């Protein structure tokens, strides 16, 4: 006897669960080994997870079971963020940061050769300009090799990065403040970064 064909609901559920496992394994590998899939691959997987979660919520609404409750989180969480943002700005910012943390991809700000400086998501109330240095491996993998914090969003203009062993050298223009009332000036400098 042959198996009956899978329904659309079963296919979407398989895709959703496989991608959730993929994202969780990628997260554990990035913490444990420092190697992960390229951020654009993971972002695409997260968007498909979210889309299938919303679709499966509407497919599993009746009868309402535990699986329906899980999929309702994909529909209710953005609504909860918007409502809390409208009612109280701080609570909305905190909930929005938690929600966007799951989906917000690291933003590439500077690339020199095989090294990419990615701006980490700090949330709406977080500090500025913490960058993770990743090294591209085999087109679809990235290895986290270091972290640096710079002040200013235009810090990477006319910058170069070179690596030698366990040390990286980043040549940047940074602003130097000479005092309280004096204007700042830009200075060329080389920052030494310890690499993993």
Residue pLDDT, tens place only, 99-128: 777 777 777 888 888 888 888 777 666 677
**pLDDT score, position 55:** 93
Residue 98 pLDDT level (bands cut at 50, 70, 90): confident
Q: How many whole angstroms separate alpha carbon 114 and alpha carbon 118?
A: 13
Share of residues in the chain with pLDDT > 90 (%)? 16
Give the residue carrying structure tokens 């030698």.
Answer: 164
Higher-pLDDT residue of 32 and 1 is: 32
Highest average pLDDT, of 29-33, 50-54, 105-109, 171-175, comes from: 50-54
Q: Kindly state the average pLDDT of the residues 171-196.
A: 72
Average pLDDT of the chain is 81
Give the mean pLDDT of 1-23: 86
pLDDT for the residue numbered 157: 73
Q: pLDDT value at position 183?
A: 60
Question: What's the confidence (pLDDT) of residue 125?
Answer: 66
pTM, two decimal places: 0.75
User: In this predicted structure, what is the pLDDT of residue 21?
Assistant: 95
Q: Is the confidence at residue 19, as pLDDT, over 70? A: yes
User: For the segment 140-171, what is each residue's pLDDT rounded down to a tens digit?
Assistant: 888 888 888 877 656 677 787 888 888 888 88
List the one residue out of 65, 76, 82, 81 whose CA is nearest residue 9.
Answer: 65
Which of the 8 DSSP states describes residue 159?
-
Q: Evaluate if residue 184 carries a pLDDT over 90.
A: no
Nearest to 80, CA basis, from 71, 90, 70, 91: 91
Q: Which residues contact 119 (CB under 8 A, 6 or more apart)?
A: 106, 107, 108, 109, 129, 130, 131
Of the two residues 77 and 4, the one the predictor is more confident about is 77
């Amino acid at each position: 006897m042959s198996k009956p064909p899978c329904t659309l609901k079963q296919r979407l559920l398989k895709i959703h669960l496989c991608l959730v496992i993929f994202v969780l394994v990628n997260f554990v590998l990035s913490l444990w080994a420092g190697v992960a899939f390229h951020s654009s691959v993971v972002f695409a997987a997260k968007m498909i997870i979210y889309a299938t979660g919303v679709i499966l919520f509407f497919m599993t609404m009746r009868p309402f079971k535990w699986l329906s409750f899980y999929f309702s989180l994909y529909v209710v969480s953005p609504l909860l963020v918007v409502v809390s943002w409208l009612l109280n700005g701080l609570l909305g910012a905190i909930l929005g940061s938690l929600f966007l943390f799951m989906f917000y991809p690291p933003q590439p700000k500077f690339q020199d050769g095989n090294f990419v400086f990615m701006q980490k998501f700090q949330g709406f109330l977080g500090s500025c300009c913490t960058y993770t240095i990743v090294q591209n491996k085999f087109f679809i993998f990235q290895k986290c090799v270091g972290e640096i914090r710079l002040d200013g969003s235009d810090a990477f203009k006319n910058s170069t990065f070179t690596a030698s062993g366990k040390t990286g050298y980043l040549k940047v223009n940074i602003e130097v403040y000479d005092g309280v009332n004096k204007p700042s000036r830009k200075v060329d400098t080389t920052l030494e970064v310890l690499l993993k």
